[in-house]
C-alpha cells in the first residue's frame, strides 16, 4: 500500500542492516522540511532556508530514525535488554522502541542535567532510568563497558545501525528538494548525527548524483571539544542535549566537516537561546540544542565567514533535532511568565487593550 510505514520500509534497500533484522517501528521519519522565508530575509536574504524539523518524530527527536534500526537489529538477534547513556533524547527513544519490541531498556543519564520532557518520556515508556552523579561522558564509558561484559545491547550511536537509520534524513532532504542543499547546518554533541548525514548524502550522491552539501556543525561554547581540539572535562551549556566533552565520533565529525568543505564552530548559550526564540517567532518551537545550527549560520554571516554573495540563489537546510516540548523549563526561565488576573472583564480589557473603564 502507499501508507507510510517508517524509515526501514521506506529506505531499507539503502541501509546496511543484517539479514536477521526484524522491523520495530513507530513510523518515524517523513518529517517536514519547513521553509523559513522571514528568517532567511533577516539573515540577509537572497537564499532559500529550510528547517528539517526532526522534533516531529514519534518521541520528539531525530533519535527515532537511528533507534528503529538499532532496535530492529537487536530484536531480530533475540536480544532482551538494551542500554544507552543519554542527555535525554536517546533515552526516551530507546525506551519507546524497546517497549514496542517488549525488550527491557536501561538508560543512564547525568543527574540534574536532563530536560523534563525527556526524563518523563523515558519513565513513561517504562525504561529503568538511572541517574549517575557524573556527566554524559562518564555514563557513556560505563555503558560501553557493561555491554562488553554482559549480553546487553548498546544502542548509543557507537552502534553502527544507529547511523544507518539516521542517514535516512539526508535521503528525505534530497527527495524533497530534488537534489542536495548547498549547506547543511546542524548541532553536534556526540557527533553521531553529523556522521550519519555525511554518510547519507555521499551514498545518495553515488546512487543518483544528487550533489553534496557543505556541512556546518555547531557546538555550544562551553562544550566545544571539536572546536578546541581537545576533550572538555566539565562541559556546560544551556543546551543540555549537547553537553558533551568527549564525542564518541569526534574524528568522523571533523572528517565530515572537512571533506564537505564545511567546518565545525561554536556559539554561545545566549546565541542559542536567541535563535530558539527567533524560530518560535516563526512558528517552529525547538529545544535549545536544535537552534544551535541556525545560530551558527547567523554567526558565520555576521562575522563575514560566510558571505551572502556566496549564498545567492542557494539552498540552506538547518536540522532542528528535537521538539521544544522536550524542555519546557527553559521557557519558564527565559521568557516572561503569563499574566495572572482576576476573572473580571475590566481587568481583562485593561490587560488586552491597555484601558480601564
Q: Which is nearer to ligand F0G, 25 or 290 (CB)?
A: 290
Q: Within a 10 A sphere around the Cβ of 216, how many other Cβ atoms? A: 27
> To the nearest whole angstrom, how small is the minimum distance from the Cβ of residue 315 to ligand F0G?
22
Rounded to the nearest 5 percent, the helix, strand and coil shares of the chain are: 45, 15, 40
Is 191 a known ligand-binding residue? yes
Is 193 a known ligand-binding residue? yes
Q: Which is nearer to ligand F0G, 67 or 311 (CB)?
A: 67
Label residues 124-153 b or e (16+ Cβ within 10 Å = b): ebebebbeeeebbbebbebbeeebeeeebb
Is 89 a known ligand-binding residue? yes
What is the secondary structure of 13-76 as a DSSP string? GGS---TT-----S------EEE-HHHHHHTTSSSEEEEEEGGGSTTSBTHHHHHHHHHHHHHH
> To the nearest whole angstrom, how small is the minimum distance from the Cβ of residue 192 to ligand F0G?
4
Binding residues (CB under 6 A) for ligand F0G: these are 61, 63, 86-90, 157, 187-194, 241-242, 287, 289-290, 321-322
Q: Which is nearer to ligand F0G, 212 or 248 (CB)?
A: 248
Which grid coordinates are listed for 26?
513507530
The candidate with the shortest Cα–Cα distance to 317, out of 242, 209, 215, is 215
Distance CA 10, CA 283 (A): 29
> To the nearest whole angstrom, how small is the minimum distance from the Cβ of residue 222 to ligand F0G?
15
Q: Which is nearer to ligand F0G, 241 or 316 (CB)?
A: 241
Q: Residue 180: helix, strand or coil by DSSP?
A: coil
> To the nearest whole angstrom, how small is the minimum distance from the Cβ of residue 113 to ligand F0G?
11
Q: Which is nearer to ligand F0G, 113 or 202 (CB)?
A: 113
> To the nearest whole angstrom, how small is the minimum distance from the Cβ of residue 303 to ligand F0G?
23
> To the nearest whole angstrom, how small is the minimum distance from the Cβ of residue 66 to ligand F0G?
8
Cα dihedral across residues 281, 242, 133, 229: positive or negative: negative
Answer whether 182's CB lies under 8 Å from 311's CB.
Answer: yes
Q: Which is nearer to ligand F0G, 252 or 311 (CB)?
A: 252
Distance CA 104, CA 79 (A): 9
Residue set of the binding site: 89, 189-193, 321
> Known binding site for pyridoxal 5'-phosphate: residues?
89, 189-193, 321
Amino acid at each position: 500500500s502507499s501508507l507510510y510505514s517508517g524509515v526501514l520500509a521506506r529506505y531499507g534497500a539503502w541501509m546496511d542492516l543484517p539479514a536477521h533484522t526484524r522491523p520495530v517501528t513507530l513510523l518515524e521519519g517523513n518529517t517536514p522540511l519547513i521553509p523559513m522565508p522571514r528568517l532567511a530575509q533577516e539573515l540577509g536574504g537572497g537564499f532559500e532556508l529550510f528547517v528539517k524539523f526532526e522534533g516531529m518524530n514519534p518521541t520528539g527527536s531525530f533519535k527515532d530514525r537511528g533507534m528503529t534500526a538499532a532496535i530492529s537489529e537487536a530484536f531480530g538477534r533475540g536480544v532482551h535488554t538494551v542500554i544507552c547513556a543519554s542527555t535525554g533524547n536517546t533515552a526516551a527513544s530507546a525506551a519507546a522502541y524497546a517497549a514496542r519490541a517488549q525488550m527491557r531498556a536501561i538508560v543512564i543519564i547525568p543527574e540534574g542535567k536532563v530536560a523534563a520532557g525527556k526524563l518523563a518520556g523515558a519513565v513513561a515508556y517504562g525504561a529503568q532510568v538511572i541517574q549517575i552523579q557524573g556527566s554524559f561522558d562518564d555514563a557513556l564509558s560505563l555503558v560501553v563497558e557493561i555491554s562488553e561484559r554482559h549480553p546487553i545491547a548498546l544502542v548509543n550511536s557507537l552502534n553502527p545501525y544507529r547511523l544507518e537509520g539516521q542517514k535516512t534524513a539526508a535521503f528525505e532532504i534530497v527527495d524533497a528538494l530534488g537534489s542536495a542543499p548547498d549547506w547543511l547546518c546542524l548541532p553536534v554533541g556526540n557527533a553521531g548525527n553529523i556522521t550519519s548525514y555525511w554518510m547519507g548524502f555521499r551514498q545518495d550522491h553515488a546512487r543518483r548524483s544528487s550533489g553534496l552539501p557543505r556541512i556546518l556543525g555547531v557546538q555550544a561554547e562551553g562544550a566545544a571539544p571539536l572546536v578546541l581540539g581537545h576533550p572538555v572535562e566539565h562541559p556546560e551549556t544551556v543546551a543540555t542535549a549537547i553537553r558533551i566533552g568527549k564525542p564518541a565520533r569526534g574524528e568522523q565529525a571533523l572528517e565530515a566537516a572537512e571533506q564537505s568543505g564545511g567546518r565545525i564552530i561554536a556559539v554561545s548559550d545566549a546565541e542559542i537561546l536567541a535563535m530558539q526564540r527567533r524560530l518560535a517567532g516563526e512558528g517552529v518551537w525547538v529545544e535549545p540544542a536544535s537552534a544551535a545550527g541556525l545560530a551558527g549560520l547567523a554567526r558565520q554571516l555576521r562575522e563575514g565567514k560566510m558571505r551572502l554573495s556566496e549564498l545567492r540563489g542557494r539552498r540552506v537546510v538547518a536540522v532542528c533535532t528535537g521538539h521544544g516540548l522536550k524542555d519546557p523549563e527553559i521557557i519558564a526561565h527565559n521568557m516572561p511568565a503569563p499574566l495572572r488576573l482576576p476573572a473580571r472583564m475590566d481587568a481583562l480589557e485593561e490587560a488586552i487593550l491597555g484601558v480601564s473603564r
